[in-house]
Chain A
Amino acid sequence: MSFSIKANNLTKEFGNSTALDNINLQINSGQVFGILGPNGSGKTTFLKIIAGVLESTSGNVFINELNTNKDRDIVKKIVGYVPETPTLYESLTPREFLNFVASVRGINENKFKERAENFCNAFGLKDNLDEPIGSLSFGTKQKVAVIGAMLHDPEVLVLDEAMNGLDPKSSKILKTLLKDFASRGRCVIFSTHIMEVAEDLCDRLAILYKGKIITEGTLEDLKSGSKEQNLEDIFLGVTGQNQISEIVENLKEAMKS
């Protein structure tokens, strides 16, 4: 099934500060879409609105005809979301947490068992399944959050810096899974600070800066619009953060004195 996610004049304010400023964007199914941006640029807010976790102040996000503000409960059924920091119930075990997620999402028990077993094997979580989540490492918690978001085989998968803390094997498995996910006509939207991951994985990219989208397109589109040839330099260029050598020189001087 083909569908699209559209953000129309999307604005989000927290008190006096504007996190998102009149965003317009379209993401089609079958794509891995990357959101890049420096800290505080509004990436997490944007992803949370798509996932129906936050409401926008004005403007809307539509997943086909579903409005993420008004149809939040339906949106949450078709979206899987991995937050930036996995805030899971620390007194539950990963197994209990996954049982909880599957129950609340109403997943068929047989399908759930099969998926959970496969995911836990793939991410090497089997040995930690019956330990309290509170005692697990950050990376292991991240794995639990990722599996929890993928259990119901969502139409849209939203991941906020999900590669953080994952070991190389799990990171590779997740990247492969995301590509496969998109190839099945689903949509993956994710944010990252790791440019290599974005270059490797994304069909399209958007760079968010101070709540606005300053550039958007395929990697080739971004390269053709810039004199730089790698994503990191393009990113630093468009976000006005390319005075790195000057900053480093100043730091060196400061350290000497």
Chain B
Amino acid sequence: MKKLDFFLSKRLMIEQRYQALKSNQTFLRNVQKSKNPGEYVEKFVLRSYYGICFFFTLFSLLISAEYLIDGATGFKSFTEGQIGFVIFLYALVVSASSSFFFLSSLNSERLIEPLTIMPVEISPFMISISWFMFTGSATFFIIFPPLIISVFFFHNFLSILFGFLWGGILIFTGFSISSLIYVFLNSRKSTSGRKVRSGLTNALKLLAFIAVFSIFDLSLYFPQFVTYISPNLYGTVKYFIPLLGLRYIVFNTNPTFQTILYSSISTGIYVLLAFFLFVYSSSSITKLMMEKVNVTKSTFESAKKTFKTKSKRTALVEKDIKIVTRKMQNLTLMLLPLFFTLPTVFSIYATGSIGTLNASSAYLGLLSLLIISASFYSMQLIISEGDGLENLRILPVTNWDIIKSKLTTGLIIFSLFSIPIIFILVGIGILRITLDILIEIDLAVGYIFASIISLRWLMKKIPKDAMTVNFYSFNGSLGIIFLFAVTAISAGIFPIMVILIYTFLASSIFANSFEFLMLIFIFNIIALYLLTSRYER
């Protein structure tokens, strides 16, 4: 690879990362303060790379942890239980989805445009190498932990070699798949199919997102289900079935000459296939990006084609809903709380007997959804303003107006998720319909109280002079951890108080769910009244 190609790929990668950071005031101040701004940005990108690698390693270890407790026996069941398969599949899906987002951002931020006017021959691998430098290489950290643990227990060093090669096959194939889909969706010039392609792009993004988190949820909460869907394979053919064969190639606890030979042939074939696919897709995507800059345009139908006014609050909420629903990235992010909490919510019901479950436990189970939603939606709805924050700064809109609109939008989305869950619980006989309504009211009031506190904190964190807002406006990850903690306390304080009262009275919260829920409701309403009356005055 030529030095210039490497230089351009690295520049592209840093520019792509910089787009996420450029509007953050603290970051910009630090860049300005530093003696060498360019070096500072590069170091910052490198630090975030280490952070992602660490996160992937931690995630992989988290999945393996349950099996490591039982030592070698446990880990054998780990590999036989196809968790290794899940981790490799996860690497493939992460690679495919991150590639798609990477390519989309190159296009939307018009990062290729400066290169098109330069009199240099652009390598067909420039984009793929740029992707590999940050996202692709970090994805390898998902597969390393089980490989190292496997060698530690079974002393089969070939696991490292085969695992590394198969990791490469899947990660590079993930990029190839996304690139080819991207080329397919953007290569046709006619405008008639643009809406269909735009819809298809959004659907694919949503599916990729759901796939990533479904695997996360499945592997974390229902490993036995994965064993069930991945049957035992027999004969030589088992070495040649992608992914399902990993159990025999990578996690081979009794290697023989024959198994090593089959594994080598299979791996060799797939390495070659993945390589040719990667070469083809890399050149296709580079060609498309160089020829056709800024190819995608968002398309949607605007329903009411009239000039019309509404109340200030309705206008703000309507604007928030449009921003969320019309941008796939925002829409998919709204599903995150559900993915993170649904397994917890349902595992409470799945592991207990129906007889011991009632409205109190149903409410406590749903509290995790409330906490994650109240903090995450508050943050995400503010972040979705992006550069549009300047519009709110120009207009006569107070911070309290913004808090009220974000709160209402968040509550609508939260209700869309929580109401069906409660209906399911009614349907399977855990709840009575009257308590169902009371739970939903309690959750709504709790959501409003917790959200107001998180939104107030978030709005205070945005610098007064800032005309844009993003994830880093709230002190990055540390700020988010603090936000989650504050929301958890504000949403959990009244249920905890009521439980303590019950404990003091030596009574069970499960004995009378109606009383339990009513007490939480009363506490929340009083707190909400005291909180909001300060603003409304």
Contact = CB atoms under 8 A, between A and B. Distances in A.
A109 B298 contact: no
B394 A132 contact: no
A95 B322 contact: no
B297 interface: yes
A103 to B, nearest CB: 3
A81 B391 CA distance: 10
A53 B394 contact: yes
A89 B391 contact: yes
Given A53-B390, A83-B467, A129-B305, 12 more contacts: A15-B32, A15-B33, A83-B394, A87-B467, A87-B468, A92-B323, A99-B315, A100-B315, A102-B307, A103-B315, A109-B309, A130-B302
A234 B322 CA distance: 49
A149 B395 CA distance: 9
Nearest to B468: A87
Interface stretch (A31-39, A110-118, A238-246): A110-118
Q: Chain A contact residues (Cβ within 8 angstroms of B): what range?
A: 35 or more
Contact of B307 (A55, A74, A113): A113
A104 B315 contact: yes
B309 A99 contact: yes
B314 A103 contact: yes
Contacts of B529: none
A228 interface: no
Closest 7 CB pairs of A and B: A103-B315, A91-B326, A87-B387, A76-B396, A135-B297, A109-B309, A103-B310
A132 B306 CA distance: 15
Contact of B302 (A51, A93, A106, A135): A93
A180 interface: no
Interface string B289-302: 00000000111101
B302 A104 contact: no
A149 B326 CA distance: 25
22 contacts: A14-B465, A15-B29, A15-B32, A51-B394, A54-B464, A83-B467, A89-B322, A89-B388, A89-B391, A90-B388, A92-B322, A92-B323, A95-B305, A96-B322, A99-B309, A99-B310, A104-B315, A106-B309, A109-B307, A109-B308, A113-B307, A129-B305
B432 interface: no
A107 interface: yes
A109 B310 CA distance: 9
B398 A73 contact: yes
A92 to B, nearest CB: 6
Nearest to B464: A55
Given A91-B326, A100-B319, A103-B312, A134 B394 contact: no
A76 B390 CA distance: 13
Interface in B12-64: 29, 32-33
A149 B390 CA distance: 13
A210 interface: no
A76 B307 contact: no
B311 interface: yes
Contacts of A105: 395-396
A125 to B, nearest CB: 12
Contacts of A87: 387-388, 390-391, 467-468
B327 interface: yes
A77 interface: yes
A104 B395 contact: yes
B394 to A, nearest CB: 5
Contacts of B322: 89, 91-92, 96
B404 interface: no
A89 B323 contact: yes
B319 A132 contact: no
Contacts of B299: 132, 135
B302 A96 contact: yes
B387 A92 contact: no
B316 interface: yes
B397 interface: yes
B197 interface: no
A27 interface: no
Nearest to A94: B302
A40 to B, nearest CB: 13
Interface in A121-168: 129-130, 132, 134-135, 149
B393 interface: yes
Interface of A: 14-15, 51, 53-55, 73-74, 76-77, 81, 83, 87-93, 95-96, 98-109, 112-113, 116-117, 129-130, 132, 134-135, 149
Contacts of B327: 91
B307 A103 contact: no
B303 to A, nearest CB: 10
B307 A117 contact: yes
Given A132-B297, A132-B298, A132-B299, A73 B396 contact: yes
Give the most central of A53, A109, A113: most B CB within 10 Å.
A53
A28 B343 CA distance: 65
A89 B393 CA distance: 13
Contact of A54 (B311, B398, B465): B465
Contacts of B307: 95, 98-99, 102, 109, 112-113, 116-117
A153 to B, nearest CB: 15
A83 B395 contact: no
A15 B468 CA distance: 18
Nearest to A17: B32
Nearest to B467: A87
A134 B298 contact: yes
A81 B390 CA distance: 11
A95 B302 contact: yes
Contacts of B465: 14, 54-55
B309 A81 contact: no
Nearest to B298: A132
A112 B468 CA distance: 28
Contacts of A132: 297-300, 326
Give the most central of A54, A96, A132: most B CB within 10 Å.
A96
B194 to A, nearest CB: 10
B358 to A, nearest CB: 44
B394 A88 contact: no
A104 B312 contact: yes
Interface in B380-408: 387-388, 390-391, 393-398
Given A95-B305, A109-B309, A88 B391 contact: yes
A133 to B, nearest CB: 10
